[in-house]
Amino acid sequence: MTFSLHGIGASKGIAIGQVSLVERSQLEVREYTVAPAWVEAEVARYQRAVDDAKEQVRRLRQRLPRHLFSQVGAFIDVHLLMLEDDAIAGAPVRRIRERFCNAEWALKLERDALVAAFEAIDDAYLRARRDDVEHAVGRVQQILAEQVSAQISNTEGTQAPPRPAVDTARHAGRVVCADDLTPADTVLMQYQGVLAFVTEYGGPNSHTAILARSLRLPAVVGLHSGLQYLRDGDEVIVDGRHGVVLVAPGGRAIDYYRSRQDQIARHHAVRRKLLRTPCVTLDGERIGLQANVELGKDIADATQVNADGVGLYRTEFMFMNRAEPPGEAEQFHAYRAVVDAMNGAPVTIRTLDLGADKQVDGVRPGAPEAANPALGLRAVRLCLREPGLFKAQLRAIARVSAYGRVRMMVPMVAVVEELLQVHSMLQQCREELATEGVAFDANMPVGAMIEVPAAAICADLFARNSDFLSIGTNDLIQYTIAIDRIDDEVNYLYDPLNPAVLRLVQGVIKAGHSAGIPVAMCGEMAGDSRYTRLLLGLGLKEFSVQPNALLEVKQVIVNAHVGRLRKLVQRVMRAHKPASRKALVAQLNQPA
């Protein structure tokens, strides 16, 4: 029977394929007793599962593309260590022998004991280790579940059938369906050849959703209890634009969505013709169109679409999926690779924006968990609290500024003092480098991201202390409307057209221009072509967008007449009623 599940479209595109359910070690584990004569067979079964898990992890490591090594390699190593540790390799074996229980149950008991121990210690660093335990245990449980139990076969008096080969690329070519995925999970998925993903929780502006768009993976989030209706291997169609998952689709539906896939491919082909077209509006305004990058592969995508530069380099992704943060040298080489690849075009390196939904291991071991992480020690706040960590990054950025047109951008500033502190730490780093005889560009522009309402309201103050401003609408919307961007329950309020948001955006653009500095926008609003004309009419001249949205936005820009848009946008800004504002935006989006 065909039926549809509805969530929030988080990354457009259509995928047709089979479901791969990820149950994050929540596999239901049954307990049963193993006859004494079969205990050693059960032990052997367990040990084979652990060996298979290690083999899976080793193969993942071998197949890891070089550019992902810094992001993922250390994470994989931690998993391998976990699988070799006595807690997984030895203790469950002893439990099987002592309790005459099945392998799954022995592993579950060990996992429960480990998790209880971690929770008792109440240490954030160890809690992160607990997640590693969950991942490693989940992998072994998954393999055990896939095996045909020799013990059950024995009780039925039959020969144990051969174990199925372990599927090392379980998600390849499939639609991953999970309760939730972290940005780190999503990074790992990209090299597993996943077709699309569907999650129960999460908002369309979470970092996980942003990554999905950057990876061109169709994604639907916030499906609520939809996952219970899906089974591993079900045929589904994922419509990432409309947030629909069609389960067991019939032939006509498949034909329809295949024709939509062809249509999307044709649109891409048409847009590729714009590659060499200058990004100039019909009335002659040159608009800057830069790229947002977070993963190594985005750089190639950015150059392929002829981006004017990198307007946002999210450096924190280099810190994910590893036990220790990268040091100055590793960061310098990573930044240098981006600067070299951009071949003289500007590269805006954003200082670390860790915290909230981007939690990583090893940065603040022992720190208590915040009750409201989005309002807590995030981004520049965390950097200023951890000067050792921050200085390594500032030195790496300063050093790389000697090799290209590097700009540095500070996220989440709420008070000007934070910006001034960053300036002073950067100055210290430059003095150290000068003493060491290391080259840097003393005139590297330093800008502020405007993504907290306090900064937007006082944009003139920030403008006076910055070389440029960049509006981060993802957070600006979150903090202005007081809605957690990863919470699908309040996603209905997440509206870039909210008048409060539009007034703040307009104010920031004006403040920057009055101070004579460039103002860019690098939040997702900049890459959504439904808002391009509105932003042009508000006076925005620099957009930084995901590489795969760049040509779509360019298509709108080169067909827009800014002079006419300005007048219409004034009407949008004056509209009292939501319906009339929407109607005016629709009017605005009619081609000139």
Q: Which does 142 bind (CB under 5 to 8 A by kind): Mg ion, ligand PEP, none?
A: none
Q: Which of 314, 395, 554, 581 is in the footprint of ligand PEP by CB under 6 A?
A: 314
**Shortest CB 270 distance to Mg ion, Å:** 32
Q: Is residue 542 within the footprint of ligand PEP (CB under 6 A)?
A: no
Q: Under DSSP, is residue 449 helix (H, G, I), strand (E, B) or coil?
A: strand
Q: Which is nearer to ligand PEP, 64 or 374 (CB)?
A: 374
Q: How far apart are CA 167 and CA 56, in angstroms?
A: 8
Q: Is residue 298 within the footprint of ligand PEP (CB under 6 A)?
A: no
Q: Which is nearer to Mg ion, 386 or 451 (CB)?
A: 451
Q: How far apart are CA 240 and CA 7, in angstroms?
A: 9
Task: Provide the Cα torsion 225, 228, 231, 232; round to 10°.
Answer: 70
Q: Classify residue 157 as exposed, middle or buried by CB count within 10 Å of its CB (0-12, 13-18, 19+).
A: exposed
CA angle 121, 125, 128 (to 5 degrees): 100
Which stretch in 14-22, 187-195, 413-421, 471-479 sits in contact with ligand PEP by CB under 6 A? 471-479
Structure tokens at 113: 């004991």
Which stretch in 283-291, 336-344, 470-478, 580-588 sits in contact with ligand PEP by CB under 6 A? 470-478
Q: Under DSSP, is residue 54 helix (H, G, I), strand (E, B) or coil?
A: helix
Q: Which is nearer to Mg ion, 200 or 316 (CB)?
A: 316
Q: Which of 294, 386, 418, 451 is in the footprint of Mg ion by CB under 5 A?
A: 451
Give the chain's length: 592
281 to 82, 509, 562: CA distances (angstroms) = 56, 19, 7
383 in active site: no
Q: Which of 386, 451, 484, 542 is in the footprint of ligand PEP by CB under 6 A?
A: 451
Closest CA to 572 of 459, 496, 521: 496
Q: How far apart are CA 405 and CA 344, in angstroms?
A: 6
Site residues (CB under 6 A) for ligand PEP, limited to 351-380: 353
Q: Which is nearer to ligand PEP, 379 or 584 (CB)?
A: 379
Q: Is residue 475 within the footprint of ligand PEP (CB under 6 A)?
A: yes
- Could you give phi then psi for residue 220, rounded to 5 degrees? -125, 130
Alpha helices (H) along 282-415 = 296-304, 328-341, 380-385, 387-400
Q: Which is nearer to ligand PEP, 42 or 488 (CB)?
A: 488
Site residues (CB under 5 A) for Mg ion, limited to 458-477: 472, 475
The residue nearest Mg ion at its CB is: 475
**Shortest CB 417 distance to ligand PEP, Å:** 21
Mutual orientation of helices 39-62 and 124-146 as an angle, nearest 10°? 110
Site track for ligand PEP across 99-138, x = CB under 6 A = ----------------------------------------
Longest dimension (CA), the chain: 86
> What sign for the dihedral angle of Cα 247, 248, 250, 251?
positive
> What sign for the dihedral angle of Cα 42, 43, 45, 50?
positive
Contact between residue 395 and residue 357 where contact means Cβ atoms under 8 Å apart:
no
Q: Which of 473, 480, 548, 555 is in the footprint of ligand PEP by CB under 6 A?
A: 473
> What sign for the dihedral angle of Cα 233, 239, 242, 248?
negative
Site residues (CB under 6 A) for ligand PEP, limited to 181-220: 210
Q: Which does 568 bind (CB under 5 to 8 A by kind): ligand PEP, Mg ion, none?
A: none
Q: Which of 474, 491, 546, 548 is in the footprint of ligand PEP by CB under 6 A?
A: 474
Q: Which is nearer to Mg ion, 346 or 472 (CB)?
A: 472
Q: Which does 488 bind (CB under 5 to 8 A by kind): ligand PEP, Mg ion, none?
A: none
Q: Which of 13, 472, 512, 527 is in the footprint of ligand PEP by CB under 6 A?
A: 472
Structure tokens at 583: 């109607």
Q: Is residue 524 within the footprint of Mg ion (CB under 5 A)?
A: no
**Shortest CB 50 distance to ligand PEP, Å:** 38
Structure tokens at 388: 């050792």
Q: Which does 361 bind (CB under 5 to 8 A by kind): Mg ion, ligand PEP, none?
A: none
Q: Is residue 386 within the footprint of ligand PEP (CB under 6 A)?
A: no
Which stretch in 228-236, 339-347, 418-426, 469-477 sits in contact with ligand PEP by CB under 6 A? 469-477
Q: Is residue 316 within the footprint of Mg ion (CB under 5 A)?
A: no
Q: Which does 314 bind (CB under 5 to 8 A by kind): Mg ion, ligand PEP, none?
A: ligand PEP
The catalytically annotated residue of 79, 177, 207, 429 is 207
207 in active site: yes
Q: How far apart are CA 186 and CA 322, in angstroms?
A: 14
Q: Which is nearer to Mg ion, 361 or 475 (CB)?
A: 475
Pairing of strands 219-221, 196-199: parallel
**Shortest CB 470 distance to ligand PEP, Å:** 8
Q: Which of 138, 309, 326, 523 is in the footprint of ligand PEP by CB under 6 A?
A: 523
Q: Is residue 453 within the footprint of Mg ion (CB under 5 A)?
A: no
Structure tokens at 332: 């310098």
Pairing of strands 244-247, 3-6: antiparallel
Contact between residue 536 and residue 287 where contact means Cβ atoms under 8 Å apart:
yes
**Shortest CB 343 distance to ligand PEP, Å:** 24
Q: Which is nearer to Mg ion, 204 or 472 (CB)?
A: 472
DSSP per-residue string spanning 201-248: S--TTSHHHHHHHHTT--EEE--GGGGGG--TT-EEEEETTTTEEEES
Query: For residue 122, how many other CB atoms are within 10 A of its CB?
Result: 11
Beta bridge partners of 304: none
Q: Which is nearer to ligand PEP, 350 or 581 (CB)?
A: 350
Secondary structure in 3-state letters for 455-484: HHHCHHHHHHCCCCEEECHHHHHHHHHCCC
What per-residue string of b and e applies to 8-40 under the rule 16 or more CB within 10 Å gives b?
bbbbbbbbbbebbbbbebeeebeeeebeeebbe
**Shortest CB 490 distance to ligand PEP, Å:** 17
**Shortest CB 411 distance to Mg ion, Å:** 6
Q: Which does 413 bind (CB under 5 to 8 A by kind): Mg ion, ligand PEP, none?
A: none
**Shortest CB 502 distance to ligand PEP, Å:** 15
Binding region for Mg ion (CB under 5 A): 451, 472, 475
The catalytic residue positions are 207, 522
Binding region for ligand PEP (CB under 6 A): 210, 312, 314, 353, 451, 472-475, 522-523
